[in-house]
Structure 1
Amino acid sequence: MELIIHPKNEELTGEKLREYLNIYYTRLPRYIKLMNMYRGEHEILIQDSKPNNKPDNRLVVNFAKYIVDTLNGYFIGNPIKTAHEDASISDKMKEIAKRNNQNDNNAELSKLCSIYGHAYEYLYQDEDANTRVTYLSPEEAFVIYDDTIQQDVLFGIYPMTDEDKKEHGYIYTDYGRHYYYSDSKGQLYIEDEFEEHYFGDVPIIEYIENAERQATFENVETLINAYDKAISEKANDVDYFADAYLAVLGVELDDETLENIRNNRIINLKSYDPGGQNVHFLDKPNADTTQENLIERLEKLIFQISMVSNINDESFGASSGIALQYKLQSMENLSLMKERKFQAGMMKRFKMIFNIPTNFPQSNKDDYINIDFSFTRNIPANVLEEAQTAQMLSGIVSDYTKLNTLSIVDNVQDELERIENQEADSAFNIFAELNKPLVQDDEQLLE
């Protein structure tokens, strides 16, 4: 998907905005189709009905949802850890994250990226001057980049439509928010007045799944549709054989005989010419083996091409150690790429949060660069093995790095503070014990 580009030093006019909005509108059908795939509203459900009352099953096997949820459960099922070397900054970051329920926001943002190929995050100040963060789907907003080599975001567009289907919305820049609207002829107008913000950048951040902005299941969409069709035809064949016609040749049956056959399920025909009578069910050629081979092949290809592991496979649960890592390798490669893209978006988020004076002093506004992000894959953890590894790292790496290898430690900075307090309490208790006054009674003195 190509970026929407606007010359950096050129004013955004109503005519140009119309051009960019038209590009956005042409993308909406793709977004709707991708979300429908995730929700289970697949192509087979809207196909033409089969003629002559033939069996017409419409089965949906929602691989799209499985792929998205499995990848994101693996990637961000464990919340992202953020830490800063300055304890006061780390505490403030934690406060902002709690206020915004950021772990849930990150998970939803990651899921939207996998469904659409990209998604957006929106920052704003609430009525109490608190910085708030939420997520937006590509159906709700889009961004416009400049024409420089850095391709920085110039504008964030939040389009809306009123009851009369007139277009209006907001244009976000690095200094404020403009309102735009349309007249009865569809001509767009941008107001000169704006509502100022203090983020220092466009407060709509684009997060991408990959450089192509391709959905996680988009390259296997045709395979998923083929699987739905194959398994639906399999069900049609089952219905066909259940409703197969009985052919009785060489003799004419009256209504009473037909009723007797239906009730007793016995056919007993008399004839002086036995060779002229034939009773059998009409059936079409059986393609069961071919269908099963196709279904099995499609399932393997879906997981292979999407690079997401089939964790429900019987052999998967029996794997451990290095064998499990090999089975997860392709999904790990996807997650590593997703992690780099996600971290880039988070850096923009914190850059703007640090630029708000009510969050951090202006002397610390560049300290967002020193934030450490830790992504922990959501796999069964061998805590004993992790503890042994951390123990072997003693004297080789810092305590911070050592604790960061432990999945049971949610926040490394908090854990370091707990250790420090524990050591201080222990030292105090030892000192108090050593300096306890020696009390001797009279009997001890006499001895």
Structure 2
Amino acid sequence: MTPEELSSTASPPTSPPPLTPIHDHCAPPVACTTPPDDLVVRQGHPRSNLSPVSLEPSSTSIGLSAVDRLYGLIYLHERGLWDHDEFHRRLDTETEDTPWLLGFYEDKICFDYMPSVTKRRGVYVLRVPGIAHQAFTHKVMDAITHGIAELGCGCHPELADQLREVQELRRVTLNIRHLYDHPNGVDEVDFEMKRTPDALWSHSVPHPRLVMEVSYSSQPGKVLRRLAEDYISGVRPEEQHDDDDKTATVSVWRLAMSKSSGGEVTGYPRCDIDAVPFRTAAGEPCDGALELQTSDFLPSSRDMYKHRTLRITFADLTNFLNLAETREERINARPSPAPLHALARTEQEIEEEKVKRRLAAKSMRLELEEQARERSVERRWSGGSADRRGSVFGGADGGGGGGDEDMKTEIRKSSKSSKEAAGDG
């Protein structure tokens, strides 16, 4: 939905839907199917400070599907309307009665979340990989997984058993804990960021042994170091994209240990391969190969097995990337098919879709204003008993006149915030 569509006004909703929290949103994705387009969310009317935003239209017969509601939540979260915890409270409540919607979110939505050390709001980043990105990632994943299986063939049974326990995972959101020194120097700040890497390989340990990221960047060293500091170790192919320059590089960062004079051991990311090109500017493969060790997949390996390696040649990486880019070009260049009469959308259907989106933005603004009124009333009731009547009803006892002005100010601030979030300016 575009900000222009969200900025329009529409009739207020009659009542918001009932919602309650359920799940661990960072669990591995569950199986799901494409949700029905005609699903209409049930109506209800919860009343509380944490009551969810209503997206239900009132004066029309057009039902807002659950998927539209989900996209509305994501859109407003990305615009900064809620912090991360509040967004997931609303997501949990939204998916209680529609478990397939939770599966849809976890299977389709990839995101990163970086909390702020000093500010109240962090950064929520939606990942929207392109066709070439996805195709190249899958090719490299298949090569690595196949290589792990080959490592287990003909080796010691103990090592083969451990390699069989290495699992390939996709679209898994990781919780990464960090300790940072607060800028004011008072103490350390312990917070948790979330990242959804392109791929990872996990053994029977709490953290993945190998993480892979594919990204486009003009500053590979800076991007890779930041990612390596988050993950500590991993493999991240890096494509430097330019209209004419087809150079692509690969870097490998691994966990290393440093021991201070006092005996304290600290882990840090060590760059073993620093942006080595595997494809030239002209698009030709370079000489060389990406080599991964058994210790990259297993928590521990005997010395006699540490020299067993998985090898993917730069020619193979170049071929994977060329095929991925060719596939994207063909799809983008494919002419749009002539719409079939049975599938063509009428002008009325297009207008109805616009109305649904406008209603979503309008409903959120109205709900936020109502919550602001409730918070204002509750703050006045929390004062002394002698001031309560004047605070609520604006009487002469206890400064009632200022109370109404506070309520108006709160409502105006909330309305302005919601309009900005919806592109209303």
Q: What TM-score range do you get, normalising by the shorter chain?
A: under 0.3
TM-score where L is the length of structure 1: 0.20
**Normalised by the size of structure 2, how large is the TM-score?**
0.21
Which structure's residues are more often helix, by fraction? 1
Computing the radius of gyration from Cα coordinates, the structure with the larger value is 1
